[in-house]
């Protein structure tokens, strides 16, 4: 498919240690009202979850890159996911290493001060980046992640990372993804599961292919005990507006944690999504509209 039809440009770049990583750019397509003043908008960088990739953001990237306040949207495949190169040492599948990859990409594309949308692991990267490199962070959207991660959600994720069977075709892929998620994603119609499955898996010769390095399971299972709370790192986000999105059925981000985040952050926007769990898909018009409103409110004056 040509870039004109698929609405994004593919980017390959080499991070500081030589890994070749993949990203997408959805260029802004503005349809401004004649005679209206030009408006300043920030680009948005999207960082995916633990086993996920840039395809998860396709629908929201299309939505945010068009209209009167269209913005450039970038989506990144972390090392070992999607179309990015696998790391020869699985011990490098860590939040600090992946944060450095994101920083390398931001430097290469001159994205200092960009807005960041981080789903799950991607949100952890944004939180840690705020503490390590505060000047690089603009407004942040945390999709179903916060400073406290619930044990039930971690256990569920650990049960499948690196263990998912490879489907024979896309029909079977849709069934696998549906069966894994239908109890938490009650609002998802049966017809949506195949497009969602195509986000999970790569494609090779028309069939599903692994969407991430199976050795990611070793890196995830090697962590000792629960992840310690990241309140100190979260407090580094106080200098920027933050939006936290929570799936009502989430087992990873609790209502209590969202309330504690609100108490600590003076400019926190909350969005609860019914009928979805961890992590909200951000494919529906209502969710995309709420994210758009947050970004427009926090754009430069």
Chain segment 157-185, per-residue pLDDT in tens: 988 898 888 999 999 999 999 999 999 99
Identify the structural domains of the chain with CATH numbers, from first to last. 3-29+40-162+212-298 (3.40.50.1820)
pLDDT score recorded for residue 31:
64
Q: Please, what is the average pLDDT of the chain?
A: 93
Rounded to two decimals, the pTM is 0.95
What pLDDT band is residue 40 in, cutting at 50, 70 and 90?
A: confident
Distance CA 276, CA 219 (A): 27
Please calculate the CA angle 58-61-67 and round it to the nearest 5 degrees. Answer: 135
Half-sphere exposure for 82 (CA within 13 Å, toward CB): 26
What pLDDT band is residue 227 in, cutting at 50, 70 and 90?
A: confident
What pLDDT band is residue 2 in, cutting at 50, 70 and 90?
A: very low
Largest CA distance in the chain: 59
Summarize pLDDT for 101-160 with one digit per residue, the tens.
Answer: 999 999 999 999 999 999 999 999 999 999 999 988 999 999 999 999 999 999 899 888
Distance CA 95, CA 83 (A): 19
Q: Is residue 34 scored above 60 in pLDDT?
A: no
The 8-class DSSP code of residue 66 comes to: E
């Amino acid at each position: 498919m040509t870039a004109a039809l698929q609405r994004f440009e593919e980017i390959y770049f080499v991070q500081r240690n030589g890994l070749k990583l993949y990203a997408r750019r959805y260029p802004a397509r503005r349809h401004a009202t004649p005679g209206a003043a030009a408006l300043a908008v920030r680009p948005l960088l999207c960082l995916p979850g633990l086993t996920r990739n840039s395809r998860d953001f396709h629908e929201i990237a299309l939505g945010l890159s068009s209209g009167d306040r269209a913005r450039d949207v970038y989506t990144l495949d972390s090392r070992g996911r999607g179309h990015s190169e696998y790391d020869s040492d699985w011990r490098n599948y860590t939040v600090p290493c992946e944060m450095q990859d994101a920083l390398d990409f931001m430097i290469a594309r001159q994205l200092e001060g960009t807005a960041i949308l981080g789903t799950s692991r991607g949100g952890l990267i944004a939180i840690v980046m705020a503490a390590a490199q505060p000047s690089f962070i603009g407004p942040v959207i945390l999709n179903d992640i916060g400073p406290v991660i619930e044990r039930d959600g971690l256990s569920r994720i650990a049960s499948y990372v690196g263990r998912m069977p490879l489907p024979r075709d896309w029909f079977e892929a849709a069934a696998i993804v549906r069966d894994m998620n239908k109890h938490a994603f009650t609002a998802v119609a049966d017809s949506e599961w195949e497009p969602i499955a195509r986000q999970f898996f790569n494609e090779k010769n028309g069939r599903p292919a692994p969407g991430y390095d199976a050795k990611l399971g070793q890196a995830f299972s090697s962590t000792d005990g629960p992840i310690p709370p990241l309140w100190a790192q979260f407090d580094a986000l106080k200098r920027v507006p933050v939006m936290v999105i929570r799936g009502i059925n989430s087992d990873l981000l609790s209502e209590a944690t969202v309330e504690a985040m609100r108490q600590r952050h003076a400019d926190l926007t909350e969005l609860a999504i019914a009928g979805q769990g961890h992590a909200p898909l951000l494919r529906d018009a209502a969710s995309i509209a709420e994210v758009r409103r947050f970004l427009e409110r926090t754009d430069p004056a």
